[in-house]
Structure 1
Amino acid sequence: MYAVFLSPESWSAVVLSLRVSLVATIVSLPLAIWIAHLLARKEFWGKSLLNGLVHLPLVLPPVVTGYLLLITFGRRAPIGQFLEQTLGIVLAFRWTGAALAAAIMAFPLMVRAIRLAIESVDPKLEEAAATLGAGRWFTFTHVTLPLILPGVIAGSVLGFAKAMGEFGATITFVSNIPGQTQTVPSAIYAALQVPGQEGDAFKLVSLSVILAMGALLVSEALTRRHRRRVMPS
């Protein structure tokens, strides 16, 4: 039944896209929370520079980001050679590289959503916890984090959706290898290059819309559930 809707190669692209997006979101989420908290609550030299670096992938052409990844983490690049020889990690032209590219492109959206959530929390609540003897980690996990959880969920969904749709940086860094690095956007692009495969491209587009809408509905449901628990009627 599944093969009727999509070919095995297309299903492989869908599975790989889900894998890449989940890994990119889960791995980058802790760093996104930390950077968002740093930008929202701290004043330090270089804050504007850090903020600019975080949002740089949003304004750079994705192909440029992919090229920078290639010359930084490629197998002939110093960092790429170090990772391969020391840790056995290869990123260029592997699905792990696709996850890295997706995470970098999604990171600014995650940080932005979480930062707005943190800035909406009254700092006096955190100060009150500190005056009662709570440490910074306890205050964050028991006061701040529960209050910003809707923003964390929203940022995660935005990051996941961006990772699912990432194309330029991914195809530049890891190419478009069916079964290895071909994600849904790459599969759509490849289908559109072959006459007569417009139907396959439309099916992938339709599935992408369904997955994106499903993620948004799940996010909304989780947010509402959290609000009912925090602010019971």
Structure 2
Amino acid sequence: MGTELFEPIFLSLRIAIIASVIVMVFGTVTGKLMANRTWRGKTILETFLILPLVLPPSVVGFLLLIFFGANSSLGRFIEFMFGAPIIFTWWAGVVAAVVVAFPLMYQVSRAGFETIDRQVEEAARVDGANEWAVFLFITLPLTMKSILTGFILSFTRALGEFGATLMFAGNIPGKTQTISTAIYVAIDSGNMKDAWILVISILIISTSLLGFVQVYRNRTYE
């Protein structure tokens, strides 16, 4: 078993960590802005935000190719800024992971913000706390359980992403090949030993993280 077998694992972990941190920040902020608010157009925006959750991964990958392609304004801007297109790089894997994982983080964080007792926040404001202090010392700690849960779910979703990553980042060994695409190649070539090693690796990582979330949630409710 060569060290090249572990390259997809390390790359997938790198992509999942970066993507889940990005998703946690933007998903938490968006969840806070959308929670307990009703305004015209909210349903349309919210539908757009969670759309990647129900779209086939191949469709997500196709849309990413269109938006970040060489013929798009965004694609040309990225190539101008960084000297190379983002397509078929491991950063394309990060973008794909962010897109497919964001709806999970958004929904969980928004639900967490909506469960907060508003009287607690109002009490802090009456005592002289400004909005930033209320968010930082009251709202955020009360929502931390949901944020952590969303982060873990987003991480595991990003770790196992396949379809959008395959179309947008490709499957270049040592460069863009993730666990999921490596498993596909191993099975397609009949290399069941490597497939099993990769499958067991992602099962251990995902099960451990989800188990941590369950233990944390159960202890919180006690």
Aligned residues: 222
Match of 2:180 in 1: 185
SS in structure 1 at match of 2:38: coil
2 CA distance for matches of 1:213 and 1:161? 9
Q: Which moved more, 1:154-163 or 1:77-86?
A: 77-86
Deviation for aligned residue 1:89: 6.5
Give percent identity, aligned residues only: 37
Residue in structure 2 matched with residue 20 of structure 1 by the alignment: 15
Residue 110 of structure 1 deviates from its aligned partner by: 0.8
2:34 equivalent among 34, 39, 58: 39
Normalization by structure 1: what TM-score?
A: 0.89
1:81 to 55, 76, 81: 76
Deviations 1:159-215, CA, capped at 9 Å, x for gaps: 0000011001100101111111100000000111102x0121111111110001121
* Counterpart check, 1:219 vs 2:213: yes
For residue 42 of structure 1, report the CA deviation from its aligned partner. 2.4
2:142 maps to 147
**2:95 maps to what in 1?**
100
Runs of 4+ in structure 1 over 6 Å off: none
Cα pair 1:10 1:184 within 8 Å, conserved: no
Note the C-alpha offset of 1:48: 0.6
Query: Residues 87 and 45 from structure 1, CA distance in 2 versus in 1: closer, same or farther, beyond 3 angstroms?
Result: farther
Question: How much does 1:224 deviate?
Answer: 6.7
Report the CA distance shift for 1:40/1:89 in structure 2 as closer, same or farther (over 3 A): farther
Structure 1 residue 43, shift from structure 2 partner:
2.4
Partners in 1 of 2:85 and 2:136 — Cα distance? 35
In structure 2, what is the equivalent of residue 65 of structure 1? 60
| Cα distance, 1:13 vs structure 2 | 0.1
For 2:156, the equivalent position in structure 1 comes to 161
**Partner deviation per Cα, 1:50-96 (whole Å, 9 max, x = no partner):** 11011100111111111111111123322011122035464210111
Please list every run of 5 or more consecutive structure 1 residues that lacks an aligned counterpart in the other structure. Answer: none
CA distance in 2, matches of 1:204, 1:132: 55
**Is 1:208 aligned with 2:202?**
yes
**1:130, 1:21 → 2: CA distance?**
38
